[in-house]
Amino acid sequence: MIKRNIVLVGMMGSGKSHIGRKLAVRLGWQFVDTDRRIERQMGQSIADFFERAGEKVFREREINVLQQVSRYHEAVISFGGNFPMNIETYRILHRHGYIVALRSQPYRVEERVGRHIGKRPTVDYDNLHAFVTRMDAQWKHVYPYCDYVVDTTDYSAEEIVDIIVKRIKGDDIVFVSREPKEADGHHDK
């Protein structure tokens, strides 16, 4: 299989941003976090942008970022936790991206998401358990379409990076190197 990049998807708090950054460092690739990119483009936090512009505009911005970054070479791309995974977005991701889904047991997601009250605009912090249970049920339908699924409940970031690196070295994937004209030099923090 020939790919250009690795995309990390999964529910909020599964560790996409945390792991993605470290995976990119390990591979010597660029790192893109769609949330951070939107925050940079809009000059405000996701929570503020979402509140001011509304969900529709936020989702359009996410799709716009998806179209920009899905063609990158040698990039680890971490998506937002509410990123609309449907047939259309899946096709765009799958064309150039090796899709790694991060999943975690709901209790761990509750623990991680509950650490930053207010950061994630659509989370119902007053009923976190029920919210995460619903999210977990929705994501279960997405995993079968992904190239690889890693459970991050009980592993450190370093261990998860090791698991992904081992998998991509053994999974008969060739990652096409970046062409100079497409390199944009941006690294998301």
- Residue 16 or residue 96: which is nearer to Mg ion going by CB? 16
Confirm whether residue 37 is marked as ligand binding: no
**Which x/- pattern over 4-33 shows residues binding Mg ion (rule: CB under 5 A)?**
------------xx----------------
Confirm whether residue 21 is marked as ligand binding: no
> Please, where are the H alpha helices in the chain?
16-27, 34-42, 46-53, 55-69, 87-96, 106-113, 128-139, 157-170
Confirm whether residue 81 is marked as ligand binding: yes
- Residue 3 or residue 103: which is nearer to ligand SKM going by CB? 103
Give SS3 for 175: strand
Q: Stretches 53-61, 77-85, 132-140, 168-176: which one binds ligand ATP (CB under 6 A)?
A: 77-85
Q: Of 123, 141, 140, whose CA–CA distance to 132 is shortest?
A: 123
Q: Stretches 87-95, 98-106, 116-124, 145-153: which one binds ligand SKM (CB under 6 A)?
A: 116-124
> Which one of residues 5, 9, 14, 150 is an interface residue with ligand ATP (CB under 6 A)?
14
The residues near 5 (Cβ < 8 Å, ≥ 6 apart) are 29, 69, 70, 72, 73, 74, 75, 76, 77, 96, 97, 98, 175
Q: Partners of 2 in the beta sheet?
A: 174
Residues that bind ligand ATP (CB under 6 A): 10, 12-18, 35, 78, 80-81, 112, 115, 120, 152, 155-157, 160
